[in-house]
Amino acid sequence: MRQAGRSLPEYRRLRGDGDILDAIAKPELAAELTLQPVRRYGVDAAILFSDIVVPLAAIGVGVEIVTGRGPVIDRPFRKYEDLRRLRPLEPEADLAYVLETIRMVVGELNVPLIGFAGAPFTLASYLVEGGPSRTFARTKALMHGEPELWHQVVDRLADIALATLRAQVKAGASAIQLFDSWAGALSPSDYETFALPASRKVLEGMGDLGVPRIHFGVGTGELLALMSEAGADVVGVDWRVPLDVARRRIGAGKAVQGNLDPAVCLAPAGVVIEEATKVLQDAGGEPGHIFNLGHGVLPETDPGVLAQVVETVHNWRPGTPSGEVAG
């Protein structure tokens, strides 16, 4: 559950009000922040405490994570000359602290660690818009108006994602996740032309390392069939599409991840457990389901409710009637 830490008092105490990019740059702190939700909830995997914009900051793109807003880019990308600011990433030099965090975490964990990167489209949207966006108007104007420049931007971002993911696996991550959080803003045809090729470059470029590859998106119901062609082993689904329907769109041979609505987790515990059980039933068993929320944990979520969700998932056996939990 991404950002599970945000709902925890121990996380808020340790994080304080400091800049999140500074916290990520301190391996001991970042390792502890990675471990906290695993200890508290007993989940089956950890996700590295970092952010999708970390590799961009590391190559000198001015980016700040503003509380309550998200990543803000100091000079947004608009022209060919901006390409020069996307130099290749050298993970051992540029992201030594992230690799150190991974080594520390892996030394202490007894569940797998998931490494991750931002997908080229989602990162490009921050670069072009200058920050979070509702309409992605500038991003879409650039991709349609200057497709050659767009393709060069996402191709460079693919190389950056690939470099960081390969280095994370070499440092000890056992699976990787490519976060294309905002791909759902695109039509299928735009996704296929402007986002899919660069994501495929990243996912297929990880093939030789033999680690499971998870492909995440939000609002991607109409894109699931295309996403399943991008080369991942697991396709993430949000709450808008039931997992049995999603499986038909994704096709045979892929696992699914998802898809409890994070907002539902604010309801009374009994309701949340019922909804979580529905997710488990819709998922079916084969060929694999990673139970997760459809997007990150909301900060106001009660940790006690999440602990009950984890317990429900751990106790669930296929064939369990809705609302009842097998022992």
CA distances (Å), origin 49, targets 61, 237, 287, 322: 20, 22, 28, 34
Q: Which of 52, 27, 175 is nearest to 103 (CA)?
A: 27
Query: Would you list the DSSP string of 119-145?
Result: -HHHHHHHHHHSS--SS-HHHHHHHHH
- The nearer residue to ligand 1CP, 20 or 230, going by C-beta atoms, is 20
- The nearer residue to ligand 1CP, 124 or 325, going by C-beta atoms, is 124
Q: How many residues does the chain have?
A: 327
Q: Within a 10 A sphere around the Cβ of 96, how many other Cβ atoms?
A: 15
- The nearer residue to ligand 1CP, 49 or 239, going by C-beta atoms, is 49
To the nearest whole angstrom, how small is the minimum distance from the Cβ of residue 285 to ligand 1CP?
Answer: 27
| 325, 315 contact by CB (below 8 A) | yes
- The nearer residue to ligand 1CP, 114 or 276, going by C-beta atoms, is 114
Q: What phi and psi, each to the nearest 5 degrees, are found at residue 47?
A: -115, 135
Among the listed residues 11, 40, 51, 156, the single catalytic one is: 51
Q: Is 15 one of the annotated active-site residues of the chain?
A: yes
To the nearest whole angstrom, how small is the minimum distance from the Cβ of residue 137 to ligand 1CP?
Answer: 15
To the nearest whole angstrom, how small is the minimum distance from the Cβ of residue 324 to ligand 1CP?
Answer: 30
- The nearer residue to ligand 1CP, 40 or 325, going by C-beta atoms, is 40
Q: Is 249 one of the annotated active-site residues of the chain?
A: no
* d(C-alpha 294, C-alpha 259), whole Å: 4
To the nearest whole angstrom, how small is the minimum distance from the Cβ of residue 132 to ligand 1CP?
Answer: 3
Q: Is 238 one of the annotated active-site residues of the chain?
A: no
To the nearest whole angstrom, how small is the minimum distance from the Cβ of residue 51 to ligand 1CP?
Answer: 4
Where do contacts with ligand 1CP occur on this chain (CB under 6 A)? 2-6, 15, 20, 47, 49-52, 65, 70-71, 116, 132, 179, 181, 295-296
Q: Is 138 one of the annotated active-site residues of the chain?
A: no
Residue at shortest CB range from ligand 1CP:
70
Q: What share of the chain is helix, strand, coil (3-state, %, to 5)?
A: 55, 15, 35
Q: Is 208 one of the annotated active-site residues of the chain?
A: no
Residues in CB range of 170: below 8 A, 6 or more apart: none
Catalytic center residues: 2, 6, 15, 51, 126
